[in-house]
């Protein structure tokens, strides 16, 4: 079992348990994951602080863990920005062009709506949604 922090387009955040990340994705595609406030199916997973335990069974400081995760996400963002092309809001179309035209690409990144993301996955186009940590946030 895995617990996810979820957020809705209405601004409501809440937690829910799933058997796996794949189960969350499958249930979301079937529109079975709904907001507890407005009943919307536009639900996204949010960044969660891991519940880590050290050998002495003492929990690590959550803030320290969150800072380490954020640092790694920032390194990942820098790598993506350096090695991939930002296609902005045209992400879905560019991904289709690469997939269907068998174009070689060093990689792209950009923005896609939840609907576009779902459609790309349904078409068998390999994409990933990653948390885009703000470079300027402390």
pLDDT, one tens digit per residue, over 71-123 is: 888 998 899 999 999 999 999 999 999 999 877 777 899 999 989 999 999 99
**DSSP codes joined into one string, 90-126:** THHHHHHHHHHTT---S-EEE---HHHHHHHHHTT--
Do the Cβ atoms of 106 and 79 come closer than 8 Å? no
pLDDT for 51: 62
pLDDT for 93: 93
Average pLDDT rounded to a whole number, residues 122-137:
82
pLDDT top residue among 9 and 47:
9
pLDDT for 24: 82
Closest-CA residue to 31 (of 43, 45, 41):
41
Tell me the pLDDT tens digit for each residue of 26-84: 888 898 888 888 888 888 887 665 666 555 555 556 777 778 888 888 998 899 999 99
pLDDT for 17: 82
pLDDT for 53: 58
């Amino acid at each position: 079992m895995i617990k996810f922090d979820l957020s809705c387009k209405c601004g409501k955040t809440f937690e829910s348990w799933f058997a796996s990340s794949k189960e969350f994705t499958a249930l979301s595609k079937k529109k079975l994951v709904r907001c507890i406030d407005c009943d919307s199916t536009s639900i996204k997973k949010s960044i969660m602080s891991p519940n880590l335990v050290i050998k002495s069974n003492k929990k690590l400081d959550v803030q320290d863990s969150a800072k380490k995760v954020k640092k790694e996400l920032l390194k990942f963002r820098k790598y993506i920005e350096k090695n991939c092309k930002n296609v902005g809001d045209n992400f879905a179309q560019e991904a289709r062009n690469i997939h269907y035209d068998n174009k070689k690409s060093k990689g792209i990144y950009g923005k896609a709506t939840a609907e576009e993301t779902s459609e790309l996955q349904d078409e068998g186009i390999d994409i990933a949604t990653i948390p885009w940590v703000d470079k300027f946030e402390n």
